[in-house]
Amino acid sequence: MTTGDLFADHAPTDDARIVLGEAAFVLRGFALADAPALLAAVDAIAQQAVFRHMITPGGFEMSVALTNCGTLGWTSDRHGYRYATHDPLTGNPWPPLPDMFLRLARNAAAEAGFPGFTPDACLINRYVPGARLSLHQDKDEQDYGAPIVSVSLGMPAMFLFGGHKRADRTQRIPLFHGDVVVWGGPDRLRYHGVAPLKDHPHALLGSQRINLTFRKAG
């Protein structure tokens, strides 16, 4: 079955809660009602801290453009991956987390069994057709006890969710506009990524996908 067939056969109105692991879930459409306001907030953030293609420690340019908001922002360059309090392009602090971002992240985490989640970082990724995110673990945070909350907006994407080893079998889960994925606890360090994005334009964003990833980094 092709990626296109998978998107066609899995409508956004499928089961509201999909179990990926012991403490990992897809919450279908959880952010749908907030999506227009979330996208407006992303535009405002990007006016202060522009989207950019960061360089990996190996010297490669990431295909996904990104920016941040919150007390801490994730950055990458030839010196490594890390969190920083200031945008390296401007020297200014990252824009603060909007209240609606915090509310959505807390509510989604609580829905998935992680009450009391208070993120201090939101990594905002922008995908265009062909952009991808290779399998990786989120290991730059100091607090592995907090979950990851990931919000999908715009074009659909194929989320890859693996095991604790890179070679472990990988689940392929279509994600749609308004879907939220939450994973933590024993699943917190599972490998995950995004397959190369196919061009399935969305009514609000056209040929783009925006992903908000909330983390407790500090």
C-alpha 192/C-alpha 188 separation (Å) is 10
**pLDDT tens readout for residues 158-216:** 999 999 999 999 999 999 999 999 999 999 999 999 999 999 999 999 999 999 999 99
pLDDT tens across 50-88, in order? 999 999 999 989 999 999 999 999 999 999 999 999 999
CA gap 153, 40 in Å, rounded:
12
Q: Three-state SS for 45? A: helix
Quick: pLDDT tens for 115-148.
999 999 999 999 999 999 999 999 999 989 999 9
Would you list the DSSP string of 55-96?
A: BPTTSPBPSSEEEEEES-EEEEETTEEEEESB-TTTSSBPPP
Which residues does residue 126 pair with via DSSP β-bridges, in sequence order?
65, 210
Residue spans of the domains in the chain: they are 3-215
**Range 3-215: architecture per CATH:** Sandwich (2.60)
